[in-house]
Structure 1
Amino acid sequence: MSVPLWITATPPAAHGELHIGHLAGPYVAADVLSRALRADGRPVLFTTGTAEHGSSVELRALRTGRKPEEVAEGYRQAICADLLRAGVVFDRIVHPRTADGYGSWVQDLFTRLRNEGVLAARTRLMPYCDTCDRWLHGAHANGTCPHCALPCDGNACPSCARPNSSGELLEPRCALCDTPAAMRRCRRLHLPLESFRDQLADYWAAAELPPRLAALCEQLIEDGLPDVAVCHPGEWGLPVPGEDFAGHRIDACFEAAAIPLFGYRLDLNAAPERAVHFCGFDHAFCQTVLLPALMLAQGIKLPQGFCVNEPLVLDDDSILPGEQPATVWALDLLTEFGSDSLRRHVLQTRPVGRAVHFSRAGLEQARQTLDATWNGWLIRLFARIRQDCAGRVPDAEPGGAGWPRLRELLLRTAEDLAVAYSPDSFDPRRAVALLDETVRSVDDFAHINAHERRRPTGHGRSMAATVAQLEVAGALSAWARPVMPEGADRLAAALGLPTGRAITAEALAAPAPGTRLSPPSGPVFGF
Structure 2
Amino acid sequence: MNTPLWITATPPAPCAELEIGHLAGPYVAADVLARFLRADGERVLFTTGTADHTASVEAKALRVHRNPAAVADGYRASITADWRHAAVEFDHIVHPRRDRGYARWIQGLFRRLHADGAVVMRSRPMPYCASCERWLHGALVTGGCPHCRATSEGGMCRACARPNDGGVLTDPFCGLCGAAPQTRRSRRPYLVLEQFREPLADYWAASELPPRLAVLCETLVEDGLPDVAVGHPGSWGIPVPVDGFDGHRIDGCFEAAAMHLFGQGFDSRPLPERTAHFGGFGHTFCHAVLLPALLLAQGVKLPQDFYVNETYAAAQAPDEAWALDLLIEYGSDTLRRHVLEGRPAARRTDFRMDDLARTRQTLTGTWNGWLNRLFEAVQEENAGLVPEAAPGGAGWDTQLRRLHRAVDDLRDAYAPEAFDPRRAVLLLDEIVLSTADFGYANAHQRRRPGADGRHHPSLTAQLSVAAALSAWAGPVMPEGSKRLASALRIEPGGPVTADALAVPASGTRLARLSGPVFGF
TM more than 0.5: yes
Pick aligned residue for 1:333 from 317, 326, 329: 326
Q: Is it true that 1:234 corresponds to 2:234 in the alignment?
A: yes
Structure 1 residue identity aligned to 2:424? A
**For residues 315-354 of structure 1, what are the structure 2 equivalents within 5 Å?**
315-316=315-316, 318-319=317-318, 323=319, 328-354=321-347
CA RMSD of aligned residues (A): 0.9
1:265 positional shift: 1.6
CA contact (8 A) 1:495 1:519 kept: no
Which 5+ residue runs of structure 2 have no aligned equivalent?
none
Deviation at 1:461, TM superposition (A): 2.7
User: Which SS does the other structure have where 1:424 is aligned?
Assistant: helix
In the aligned structure 1, how far is the partner of 2:203 from the partner of 2:449? 69
**C-alpha contact 2:442 2:458 (8 A) present in aligned 1:** yes
Aligned residues: 520
Could you tell me whether the CA contact under 8 Å between 1:138 and 1:165 is conserved in 2?
A: no
Aligned match for 2:425, one of 428, 432, 437? 432
Amino acid aligned to 1:423: P
My pick for the range that moved more, 328-337 or 451-460, is 451-460
Where do residues 50-65 of structure 1 align in structure 2 (5 Å cutoff)? Answer: 50-65=50-65
Q: Deviations over 1:219-254 (max 9, x none)?
A: 111111110000000010001113311000000011
- Within the candidate set 375, 385, 398, 1:392 is matched to 385
Aligned to 1:137: 137
TM-score for the superposition, normalised by structure 2: 0.99
Inter-partner Cα distance in structure 2 for 1:244 and 1:166: 22
What's the CA shift for 1:151?
0.5
Aligned to 1:366: 359
* Aligned: 1:249 with 2:249: yes
Query: How far, CA to CA, are the matches of 1:437 and 1:332 in structure 2?
Result: 30
**Cα distance in 2, alignment partners of residues 237 and 3 from structure 1:** 33
Asked if residue 504 in structure 1 is aligned to residue 500 in structure 2, the reply is no
Map residues 83-94 of structure 1 onto 2, 5 A cutoff.
83-94=83-94
Other-structure match for 1:152: 152
- Give me the whole-angstrom Cα distance separating, in 2, the residues matched to 1:195 and 1:340: 47
Q: Distance in 2 between matches of 1:263 and 1:314?
A: 32
The CA deviation at 1:155 is 3.1
SS at match of 1:461: coil
Report the counterpart of residue 379 of structure 1 in structure 2: 372
Match of 2:510 in 1: 517
Aligned-partner residue type, residue 35 of structure 1:
R
Spell out the pairing of 1:1-12 with structure 2 (5 A cutoff). 1-12=1-12
Out of 441, 454, 464, the residue aligned to residue 447 of structure 2 is 454
Q: Is the 8 A contact 1:490 1:520 kept in 2?
A: no
Is the contact made by 2:467 and 2:501 (CA closer than 8 Å) also made in structure 1?
A: yes
Cα distance, 1:168 vs. partner? 2.2
State the shift of 1:166 in Å: 5.1
1:493 aligned residue (486, 491, 499)? 486
Asked if structure 1 preserves the Cα contact closer than 8 Å seen for 2:127 and 2:166, the reply is no
Q: Name 1:279's counterpart in structure 2.
A: 279
Residue aligning to 1:403: 396
Deviations 1:307-357 (A, max 9, x none): 0000012212x44xxx3xxx7110000011111010001000110111001
The one-letter amino acid paired with 2:378 is I
SS at match of 2:140: strand
Paired with 1:411 and 1:168, the residues of 2 have a C-alpha distance of 58
User: Corresponding residue for 1:444?
Assistant: 437
Asked if the contact 2:372–2:513 (Cα under 8 Å) also holds between the matched residues in 1, the reply is: no
- For 2:421 and 2:373, how far apart are their aligned partners in 1? 28
What is the distance in 2 between the residues matched to 1:301 and 1:519? 54
Paired with 1:251 and 1:473, the residues of 2 have a C-alpha distance of: 51
Taking structure 1 as the reference length, the TM-score comes to: 0.98
Which letter does structure 1 place at the counterpart of 2:282?
A: D
Check the 8 A contact 1:189/1:229 in 2, yes or no: yes
Q: What one-letter code is carried by the residue in structure 2 that aligns with 1:302? A: L
Show the 5 A alignment for 1:94-173: 94-165=94-165, 167-173=167-173
Secondary structure, aligned partner of 2:93 = strand
Deviates more, 1:236-245 or 1:362-371: 236-245
Q: Do residues 74 (structure 1) and 67 (structure 2) align?
A: no
User: Take 1:519 and 1:366, find their aligned partners in 2: how far apart are those partners?
Assistant: 25
2:276 touches 2:307 (CA, 8 Å); kept in 1? yes
Does structure 2 conserve the Cα–Cα contact (< 8 Å) formed by 1:166 and 1:228? no
Any idea what the Cα deviations from partners look like across 1:96-125, whole Å, max 9, x if unmatched?
A: 010111010001111111111110000000
Contact map agreement 2:414 2:421 (CA 8 A) in 1: yes
- 8 Å contact 1:191–1:229 — kept in the other structure? yes
Alpha-carbon contact 2:59-2:140 (below 8 Å) kept: yes
Cα deviations by residue, 1:248-284 (Å, 9 ceiling, x for unpaired): 0000011110110000122221111210000000001
Match of 2:289 in 1: 289
Match of residue 473 from structure 1: 466
CA contact (8 A) 1:144 1:151 kept: yes
Q: For the residues of structure 2 that align with 1:165 and 1:296, how far apart are their CA atoms?
A: 24
Instruction: Return the offset for 1:488.
Output: 0.4
- Specify the SS of the correspondent of 1:476: helix
Contact 1:166–1:229 (8 Å) recurs in 2: no
Q: Identity rate of aligned residues, in percent?
A: 60
The residue that corresponds to 2:213 in the other structure is 213
Q: Is contact 2:50-2:95 (8 Å) kept?
A: yes
Instruction: Name the CA distance, whole Å, in 1 between partners of 2:279 and 2:105.
Output: 24
Contact preservation (8 Å) 1:491, 1:519: no
Aligned 8 A contact 1:386 1:392 in 2: yes
Give how far 1:459 is off.
3.0
Partner of 2:31: 31
Runs of at least 4 residues off by over 3 Å: none
1:7 corresponds to which letter in structure 2? I
Contact kept, 8 Å, 2:155 with 2:229, in 1: the verdict is no
Q: Does 1:482 align with 2:475?
A: yes
Letter in 1 for 2:151: P
